[in-house]
Amino acid sequence: MDSQASNASQSYSGWLWQRWRRKRKRDRARNLAIVRFRLTREGWHFLFVLLFIFVGAVIREINLLILLAGTMIGLLNLQWRFNTRTLQGLKVRRRIPTRTMVGVPTDVSIEITNSRRWLGSWLVLAEDQLQKVEPNVKRLTEKGVALIDEVQPQRSTSARYELRFLERGRYRIGSTTISTLFPIGLGRGWRALDNSVDLMVHPHLGKLLPACRSLLHVELEGNAKAVPRASVHEGEFYGLRNWQTGDSRRWIHWRTTAKRGELSVRQFEQLQRRQLSILLDLYQPKTKPSEAERQAVERAIAFAATLATELVSRDRDRLAFAIAGESVDVLPNVQSVVLVHDLLDRLSEVRPSAAPNLVDAVSQFRLSLMRTPVLLVISTRPDQFAALRQELEHGLSQPYFNRLQVRWLNASNGELEPYFQWQPPT
């Protein structure tokens, strides 16, 4: 009996909860659709003069001033009506890539569709709020701004703006605010849209120098022959995605296309040739880091990113990657472009730490190291492997350590310079 009562009360509270959620969703959608209006600085000046004239007209019974005040009220009224009407019924669509790179200009296109039958929209300003979400949250003063001069009724017009990021990370683009000063700039009408998307900004890549190639070649020689060659196919089947211009018709997956009603194509992974294990040790003192220390971290990340891009994307090699920063992240098999993107995404968001957990990283790395006992440590501090070895001895067997070849590169004292050329973007 009690359980029945409690079930009933639970279902009733659940119903209430659902109802409240639906209402909140509805209200939110309604608020987003509402065009808000605010006087501009010029509008306030105008209103002040208008009040001055109107009060004078009423007190002194001067009809000409009432006429003048009426004209000014008419202008304000028209501003308000046009402002709000201009923005109602506009649909905004943003086109933006999901990934970009530090220092590389990124085109963002904003298309505005005017679904009204007869009234056009003019002077529409689309502003995208920018926010850095990872590795640290930061609201940016800069905005992505596109100006659309005119959108005719039942037409679409697009405008573009360009973003150039100077720091890696995950950025939130949006929400978009469309606003207009049309027609006479006395007030600004605006509408906020719920269309924010995340954009991953990958680290700025550098250039691998020939010394790096020769070094890697020597270390990877033993594994290169063991890799099977590519077959007649493009690679191993990896997944499905939407069809894009330029895709071969042979890649279309007709069954999925029929299911979804949209063209879908298969994706393939390229086969690897060589193997390498990389441990990225991102150490940064807890106290306020100096510019040089920050640069060292960025340089180390950039080197790792460049290595992954060059070796996997171009040379079809296989990497095992461990990142030891504020948290430990391990990618044991980086062997395709898609996985490189995944790695770069993680590198974009990674935060350095005062105490990177190298033990945990290497422990998670163990299988890869057993297969490929060549470990390249990219660090921001001097060689710590001796201490690390002592800690690891409990978990790993002696033969394993005997096979392990470790190369420790300290980015903070210029050990990367013979292998890597990199300039932070300005």
Residue 404, CA atoms < 13 Å, CB-side half-sphere = 26
Q: Which stretch binds other proteins (CB under 8 A): 154-162, 297-305, 361-369, 381-389?
A: 154-162
Q: Shortest Cβ distance from residue 420 to other proteins (Å)?
A: 23
Q: Which long-range contacts (CB under 8 A, 24 or more apart) does 48-56 make?
A: 50/76
Considering only residues 187 to 226 of the shown chain, the ones binding other proteins according to CB under 8 A are none
Q: By C-beta, is 75 or 215 nearer to other proteins?
A: 75
Q: Shortest Cβ distance from residue 178 to other proteins (Å)?
A: 12
In the list 51, 137, 140, 387, the residue contacting other proteins (rule: CB under 8 A) is 140
Q: In angstroms, what CA-CA distances link 238 with 130, 139, 335?
A: 33, 37, 11
In the list 95, 99, 259, 371, the residue contacting other proteins (rule: CB under 8 A) is 95
Q: Which two tokens stand for residue 108?
A: 């963002």
Q: Which stretch binds other proteins (CB under 8 A): 178-186, 311-319, 383-391, 413-421?
A: 178-186
363: contact with other proteins by CB under 8 A: no
Q: Which two tokens stand for residue 384?
A: 């710590």
Q: Shortest Cβ distance from residue 163 to other proteins (Å)?
A: 6
Q: Shortest Cβ distance from residue 351 to other proteins (Å)?
A: 16
Three-state SS for 32? helix
Q: Shortest Cβ distance from residue 189 to other proteins (Å)?
A: 12
Rounded to an integer, what distance in angstroms lies between the CA atom of residue 167 and that of residue 298?
9
Q: Shortest Cβ distance from residue 416 to other proteins (Å)?
A: 24
Q: Which two tokens stand for residue 88?
A: 């109602």
In the list 24, 38, 143, 403, the residue contacting other proteins (rule: CB under 8 A) is 143
Considering only residues 34 to 93 of the shown chain, the ones binding other proteins according to CB under 8 A are 40-42, 45-46, 49, 52-53, 56, 60-71, 73-75, 77-78, 82, 93
Q: Shortest Cβ distance from residue 95 to other proteins (Å)?
A: 7
Nearest to 201 by CA among 272, 106, 269, 289: 106
Rounded to an integer, what distance in angstroms lies between the CA atom of residue 119 and that of residue 341?
45
Considering only residues 235 to 264 of the shown chain, the ones binding other proteins according to CB under 8 A are 242-245, 262-263
Cα of first residue to Cα of last residue in the chain, in angstroms, is 72
107: contact with other proteins by CB under 8 A: yes
Rounded to an integer, what distance in angstroms lies between the CA atom of residue 184 and that of residue 205?
48
Q: Which two tokens stand for residue 6?
A: 């409690």
Rounded to an integer, what distance in angstroms lies between the CA atom of residue 407 and that of residue 419?
13
Backbone angles phi, psi at 341, to 5 degrees: -60, -40
Q: By C-beta, is 72 or 378 nearer to other proteins?
A: 72
119: contact with other proteins by CB under 8 A: no
In the list 182, 321, 385, 419, the residue contacting other proteins (rule: CB under 8 A) is 182
